Structure 1
């Protein structure tokens, strides 16, 4: 069976990544692509790397006939998806890649995103889209909220450790390096080549990054009490990828064993041998995640490192993994391609 797919916001990086992935998916067909600022343009003109594909012309969302759409990916900017999804047919399956439905408490959304939640009724039905931990709920969901790419990387490092009680919950430091595509495709002065290349730039330091809302929500839910981590992201002069380094108080061997056991049957999560160090280069362009654990010269401390591609496993690949489950398909379908190297 072939499922008809719409991508709303196809002219951004995550939208283009969805097209790249769906192009070789055996059970999905792209029936509609939207991009308000690019409406009327061919996708191959917006993204020349997609010129070889026979794709619909970009249109406005209002022009899409959703009666024949089995699932819609919403790859729109934050604070846009709530109104758009609220206007879709009430039975339309949707995977949202924005932040608009990630935080279960509307008050937390307003705290982190600076505006009231405009679709709290939809928020009540949204399922958090970290596939490995919510796959049962995702299978029966109508609306799935994709995670933040930074939030996904940090959670892969920490969720099993918090659940198993093998680390000190009051001493968690997350240091993250992210490629520039995570900032989106909009023109921004600080993303100009002359401003970004050759440097490393911390941002949203001191507990102000919005993905802390996801960390607070998920880690506290697992622990059954408030968990607050220290988190500093850094913008790096490479196109795609995330490397997160997490410092915890715990026994390295126990931390490694806990992660290895938790992810033993996960098709996309690979825990390296103790002491192995992951890199963004080894997962680029793929849906795979590499997890490494090492000890520290200070006894009783461990370092957990996670590498993933922010556009694939951190966003569009995760979205397809969730869509596969929602459509009754094997969740790995269309996602087993090897990373691109070098």
Structure 2
């Protein structure tokens, strides 16, 4: 069975990544693509690497006829996304890649994103889209909220450990390195090649990064009490990838065993041999997560390193994984491509 697909915001990085991934899916057909600022242009003009594909031209959202469309990916900015999704047909399945439906508490959303939520009823309906941990709910969902790419990486590194009770909860330090594509495609002075290359800097220092709202929500729910991690992201001069280093209290071997039990049957999560560290090169362009564990020289401390591609497993690949479940497809369909190297 072929499912008809629309992508809103197809002129951004995550939209283009969705098109690339769906090209390898035998049962999905893209029938509508929106791009407000580039409406009327072809995808070949906007993204020459997609010129070999037979795709509809970009249009404005109001020009799309959603009758007959089975699922819509929404790759729009936060705030815009909720306002658009609120007015889409109530029978349409939606995977939202923005931040608008990730946080269940409206007060938390306002705290981290600075505005009142415009679709509160849908906010409560949305299922959090970290596939490996919400698989059963996603299968029956109409609206799935994709995670933040940083939030996904940190959760792959920490969720099984919190659930298994093998780490302390009050002294978790999460240090994260993020590639520049995570900032989106809009022009920003600090992301110019001359200002970003050959440098490396921390940002959102002191607990101001918006993905902390997801960490607070998810880790606290797992633990049954408030959990706050110390988190600092760093911008690295690379196009793709996130590397999270978590410093935790606990026995390193027990931590490795907890990961082994949690991820034994997960097709996209690879646990490395004890003491081995992954690289962002290992997962580039793929839907895989690689995790390494090592002991620290300080007794009772351990180091966990997780890597993923922010545009694939951290966003569009995760979105397609969720869509597969929502449409009754094999969860791995269109996503088993090997990483790119070098």
* Bin for the TM-score computed over the shorter chain: over 0.9
Measured in 2, the distance between the counterparts of 1:23 and 1:68 equals: 20
Measured in 2, the distance between the counterparts of 1:141 and 1:310 equals: 24
Measured in 2, the distance between the counterparts of 1:162 and 1:80 equals: 34
Measured in 2, the distance between the counterparts of 1:44 and 1:222 equals: 45
Instruction: Name the residue aligned to 1:153.
Output: 153
Equivalent positions of 1:72-221 (< 5 A) are 72-221=72-221
Measured in 2, the distance between the counterparts of 1:198 and 1:283 equals: 22
Measured in 2, the distance between the counterparts of 1:300 and 1:44 equals: 54
Equivalent positions of 1:292-303 (< 5 A) are 292-303=292-303
1:316 aligns with 2:327: no
Provide Cα deviations, 1:147-179, integer angstroms capped at 9, x if missing partner. Answer: 000000000000010011110000100000010
Measured in 2, the distance between the counterparts of 1:276 and 1:69 equals: 45
Measured in 2, the distance between the counterparts of 1:24 and 1:158 equals: 31
How far apart are residue 285 of structure 1 and its match?
Answer: 0.1
SS of the residue corresponding to residue 124 of structure 1 reads helix
How far apart are residue 127 of structure 1 and its match?
Answer: 0.1
How far apart are residue 65 of structure 1 and its match?
Answer: 0.5
Measured in 2, the distance between the counterparts of 1:316 and 1:78 equals: 16
How far apart are residue 24 of structure 1 and its match?
Answer: 1.1
SS of the residue corresponding to residue 125 of structure 2 reads coil
Instruction: Name the residue aligned to 2:253.
Output: 253
Instruction: Name the residue aligned to 1:51.
Output: 51
Measured in 2, the distance between the counterparts of 1:331 and 1:292 equals: 25
Equivalent positions of 1:10-29 (< 5 A) are 10-29=10-29
How far apart are residue 92 of structure 1 and its match?
Answer: 0.7
How far apart are residue 260 of structure 1 and its match?
Answer: 1.1
How far apart are residue 78 of structure 1 and its match?
Answer: 1.4
SS of the residue corresponding to residue 341 of structure 1 reads coil
1:242 aligns with 2:247: no
Measured in 1, the distance between the counterparts of 2:193 and 2:222 equals: 41
TM-score, length basis structure 2:
1.00
How far apart are residue 201 of structure 1 and its match?
Answer: 1.2
Structure 1 stretches of at least 4 aligned residues deviating more than 6 Å after TM superposition: none
SS of the residue corresponding to residue 77 of structure 2 reads coil
Measured in 1, the distance between the counterparts of 2:264 and 2:278 equals: 17
Measured in 2, the distance between the counterparts of 1:249 and 1:79 equals: 38
Measured in 2, the distance between the counterparts of 1:9 and 1:67 equals: 19
Aligned CA-pair RMSD: 0.4
Provide Cα deviations, 1:60-95, integer angstroms capped at 9, x if missing partner. Answer: 000001011100000001111101000100111000
TM-score, length basis structure 1:
1.00
SS of the residue corresponding to residue 121 of structure 2 reads helix
Instruction: Name the residue aligned to 1:32.
Output: 32
Measured in 1, the distance between the counterparts of 2:328 and 2:118 equals: 30
Uncovered stretches (5+) of structure 1, i.e. residues with no partner: none
How far apart are residue 124 of structure 1 and its match?
Answer: 1.0
How far apart are residue 111 of structure 1 and its match?
Answer: 0.2
